[in-house]
Each structure stands twice: as structure tokens, then as C-alpha cells.
Amino acid sequence: MTLKLGLTTTVVISSSAMAREALTKKDRRLAARPIRDATRALGWSDRSVGWLPSSNPLWRTFRRVMATQIFSQRSLQQDTHGLRERTVRDLVRYLRGRSGQEVAVGRVLLSSTLNLTSNILFSADIVDMEGGSPERLLETLEAAIDPLMWKPNVSGIFPLLGPLDIQGRRRMAAAHLKKLFSFLEGVVDRRLAEVDDKHNNDFLDVLLDLMSTGEMARDDAIALMFDILIAGGDPMSTTVEWALAELLHNPSTMSKVRTEMAAASFGCNSKQAIEEADLIRLPYL
């Protein structure tokens, strides 16, 4: 479907077949996107892998670093495997401890995925599942995502009005981004201040090496960490939340999933949890 929103032409893809066509076969032609006005706050869009054009040298540097250090087969299969399983165990333990109570599932999932991503980045949790987060970081992230990603902005419909920032979306985003960048600056400073020369074997170590050789500026490294933190938190938690909602709305589908899990994973071994190695035996799930 084609929609004309003000001066902006928007195409809505509404089938899985067309999504596959657009996102795989035609990805290079369709990857460019209009820059949302709020993302220009503090110059973020000028050093963000999500908004830079693929012709930009910084974009290519970001993509190379991510492909070799985070999304490589070795990293996915070995380096982060234990982190993923620990995060899931913590999540299940948290939910099991609140059996019979009302739980804001989306927020719990976001906390878990943010902790997984932050451990991959700099080997530390940023959200305490029991008591919020330091410096109200979770609340700041949630507040930043709204103007940056989701809230409609008249400046996007009528770009000529962009400099006026009529709804204050850019100013709002700038206030939240300043806090988040400051937090990440502190993470970098604390790592640099460590007296022992130990290596955490995380993504921050890689970035510090690139900074020391002049291959990446400090501001660019901070922006890349922020990009990965946002991309690793909100989309994953939203996807899982929607999947759970769909299962609850479709009891027959839920029944098939439960039956498959019971038959494939537990049997005579009485396993207490599904692990990543079990997924190959759970095609329906």
C-alpha cells in the first residue's frame, strides 16, 4: 500500500512474501531511509550505523567492526552463548518467582535483553531486575526510544518545518541522549582507569584498541555502543512480547508448542529447561 503522508510517500509492506522480497533480494536498493528529525539531536544521525548512508566511510567501518566482532559465527556460537543462556535463566527465575502476580512482561523482557546486550558490550548488567537501574537508565532509554523511533512528528511529514521543531521531539530526544551518552562515557572512563591490564574480551576492548590506533574516534565508538544497545534491546523484547501475546490469543497454537516441547525435550531425562541445542528438535516452536 502506498500512503501519502503530507509531503512524504510511505510504502507499507503487508505480506511476509513481499517483506522477504524487499529485505533480502532488494535490500541494497531499499536500505536507504529518510532521517527522522529527532535523530538529528546531538548529531546522532551523523554517526549512527542506522542512519548513515552505506556510501559513508564511517558506516563501512561500523559494519566491518560489527560483522567481525559481534555477529561472526565464532562470537555467536562461543563467546556469547553462555551470556544468552544465563540471561534466559535469570528471566525465567524472575517470572517464576512472581507466579500468580501481574507482571509487565514487555518491561521485564526489555530489562533482560538490555542486560544481555550490555554484557556483550562491556561485561556488566545495566538493569537490576529487582530494583530498576542505576541512574534511572531504563526509564531514560524508554523515554529516548519514543521520540527517536516511534512517536509521530510533524517535521517528518512536512520537512520544511523541521528547523522549528514544533512538537519539541528533537529537544526531548537531545535531553535523553545526553544522559545516555554520558553514561556510556563513564563506562569508557572506568575501563580506561583500571590499573590492571586485564582484558574482558568484550566489545569495549575492541573499541578501545581501535581508538588507540586512531581507527575510530571516541565519539564514534560511544555512538556505536549506543546503536547496539538500542538495537539489541527494544526490537528483541518487542518481538518476544508479540509472540507471547499471539500464543495467548491462539490456544491451539499454544497447545502444539507445549506438546512438542514435552515430547522432544524432556522425556525420560526430565530436563528442567530448554537450551539452544534443543531448538533443532523443536521445528514448530
Print burial letters for 218-244: b (CB count within 10 Å at least 16), e (below 16). eebbbbbbbbbbbebbbebbeebbeee
Torsion on CA atoms 184, 190, 191, 193, rounded to nearest 10: 150
Give the confidence band of 198 by pLDDT, cuts at 50, 70, 90.
Answer: low
CA angle 141, 146, 150 (to 5 degrees): 135
Residue pair 39/48 in contact (Cβ under 8 Å)? The answer is yes
Residue pair 137/126 in contact (Cβ under 8 Å)? The answer is yes
Cα(65)–Cα(206) distance, rounded to whole angstroms?
Answer: 9
In terms of C-beta density within 10 A (0-12 exposed, 13-18 middle, 19 or more buried), how is residue 39 classed?
Answer: buried
Cα(19)–Cα(123) distance, rounded to whole angstroms?
Answer: 35
* pTM recorded for the entire structure: 0.81
Domain with CATH 1.10.630.10 in the chain: 38-249
For 101-160, how does the pLDDT look when each residue is reduced to its tens digit (9 = 90+)?
A: 999 888 889 888 888 888 888 888 888 776 655 547 777 887 777 767 677 888 888 888
CATH superfamily to which 38-249 belongs: Cytochrome P450 (1.10.630.10)
Give the confidence band of 250 by pLDDT, cuts at 50, 70, 90.
Answer: very high
For 51-72, how does the pLDDT look when each residue is reduced to its tens digit (9 = 90+)?
A: 888 888 999 999 898 888 877 7
